[in-house]
Amino acid sequence: MNRLISLIPVVLDQEPMLACPHCGGINIHPTSVRCNPAGDLPGQVRIEESGVLWNGNTEPDGRGVRIDLVFWCERGHTFGLVFHFLKGNTLVKRNMNPIDPPTETIWRN
Ligand SMILES: [Zn+2]
C-alpha cells in the first residue's frame, strides 16, 4: 500500500507556508543548507549567513547524497528537513534537533 504522508508541516494561506514542527509557528527562517558529496568521500559544504563553507573532514552519513535544510523559528525552535538520495529513492526525514544549528538567517539584499 502506498500512502502519501506529510513530514513537512505547512500552513495554508494564500500560498503554503512552512510551519515549525515544534509549535506550528510560521515565522521560519532558513539558516543552513548542508550537502555531503556522493559516495564515501568525506566533506560537507554549507551555505550559511557567513557565506559558503567547506569542511573536508566531515564524515559522510551513509551512502548516496544527503541534503539538509536547517531552519530557525522566531519562537526559538530549530529543526531540519533532510533529503537523502539512495538507490534511486529520496528519503525525506524531519530532524527535530539539528547538530550545531546556526541562528543567523541566510539573507541577501
Ligand atoms: Zn517553533
Report the 10 Å Cβ neighbour count for 46: 19
The answer to whether the CB of 22 falls within 8 A of the CB of 96 is yes
Cell of 16: 503554503
43 CA to centre of ligand 1 in angstroms: 30
> Which pTM was predicted?
0.88
**Nearest to residue 6, comparing CAs of 46, 14, 16?**
16
Cβ neighbours of residue 37 closer than 8 Å, sequence gap 6 or more: 43, 60, 65
For residue range 43-100, list pLDDT tens digits in order: 899 999 999 999 988 887 777 888 999 999 999 999 999 999 888 999 999 999 988 8
Cell of 55: 569542511
**pLDDT given at position 36:** 85
**Residue entry with cell 524531519:** 94
**pLDDT given at position 29:** 97
**pLDDT given at position 87:** 87
20 CA to centre of ligand 1 in angstroms: 5
The answer to whether the CB of 15 falls within 8 A of the CB of 26 is no
83 CA to centre of ligand 1 in angstroms: 21
Stretch 3-15: mean pLDDT: 86
Widest pairwise Cα distance in the chain: 47
Cβ neighbours of residue 1 closer than 8 Å, sequence gap 6 or more: none
**pLDDT given at position 83:** 93
40 CA to centre of ligand 1 in angstroms: 35
81 CA to centre of ligand 1 in angstroms: 14
